[in-house]
């Protein structure tokens, strides 16, 4: 694998967990854009939004993507759910869209805690956000995975797809 594998999708689609399993399979590491922002700014995503607002968060994501593009290869990149709207994720590598039914996403978001996710206002607003974003995910993707609950299986399917590229 020379190019990165970039995981995109809505909040709760499993980008980080699947990315971790995929990194193991590919014998490489996972870079998670949210975690990189947390470590570089020394604050949670929620705090970042609270202190600087969404626009600054998007700028931080773009800065990070430009750095990844110039410096990173052979790596699994898991992205924040809004990243493909402002950055062409194909510039970072082979893009995999993790497609998950909305009912499942909302269940996971609520289970994991809506407080951690500053984009979550209420269920109606999240439905709208989801509708607005589907076309970005679809048009950014080189491959769409119908991601289920079996993490290893999801990672294996991506691994098999990438092997054939
Ligand atoms: C966001 C998703 C979050 C995080 C931030 C904004 C979004 O990442 O980047 O809260 O706009 O959808 P996850 O998709 O990992 O939850």
Number of alpha carbons in the 13 Å side-chain half-sphere of residue 58: 11
Intervals of the chain under pLDDT 70: 1-2
pLDDT for res 115: 86
Residues pairing with 77 in the sheet: 6, 31
How close are the terminal C-alpha atoms of the chain, in Å? 9
Pocket of ligand 1, candidates 7, 10, 11: which has the most ligand atoms within 8 Å of its Cβ, to mutate?
11
Q: Which two tokens stand for residue 133?
A: 């974003």
Pocket of ligand 1, candidates 111, 117, 126, 132: which has the most ligand atoms within 8 Å of its Cβ, to mutate?
117
Query: Which regions of the chain does DSSP assign to beta strands (E)?
Result: 4-8, 30-32, 76-78, 93-99, 143-146
pLDDT for res 116: 87
Q: Is 157 helix (H, G, I), strand (E, B) or coil?
A: helix
pLDDT for res 1: 67
The candidate with the shortest Cα–Cα distance to 156, out of 97, 111, 147, 36, is: 147
Pocket lining: 114 vs ligand 1, CB cutoff 6 Å:
no
pLDDT for res 49: 97
0.85 exceeded by pTM? yes
Give the distance (Å) from ligand 1 centre to CA of residue 30.
Answer: 17
94 and 8 Cβ atoms separated by less than 8 Å: no
Give the distance (Å) from ligand 1 centre to CA of residue 83.
Answer: 8
Pocket lining: 84 vs ligand 1, CB cutoff 6 Å:
no
> How far is it, in rounded angstroms, from Cα 60 to Cα 158?
28
pLDDT for res 2: 62
């Amino acid at each position: 694998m020379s190019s990165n594998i970039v995981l995109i999708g809505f909040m709760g689609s499993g980008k980080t967990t699947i990315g971790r399993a995929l990194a193991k399979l590919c014998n490489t590491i996972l870079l998670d854009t949210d975690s990189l922002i947390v470590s570089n700014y020394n604050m949670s995503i929620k705090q970042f939004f609270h202190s600087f607002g969404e626009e600054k968060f998007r700028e931080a994501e773009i800065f990070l993507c430009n750095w990844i593009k110039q410096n990173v290869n052979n790596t699994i990149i898991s992205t924040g759910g809004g990243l493909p709207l402002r950055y062409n994720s194909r510039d970072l590598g082979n893009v995999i869209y993790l497609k998950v039914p909305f009912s499942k996403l909302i269940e996971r978001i609520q289970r994991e805690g809506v407080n951690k996710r500053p984009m979550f206002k209420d269920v109606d607003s999240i439905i709208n956000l989801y509708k607005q974003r589907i076309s970005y995910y679809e048009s950014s993707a080189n491959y769409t995975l119908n991601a289920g609950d079996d993490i290893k299986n999801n990672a294996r399917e991506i691994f098999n797809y990438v092997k054939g590229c």
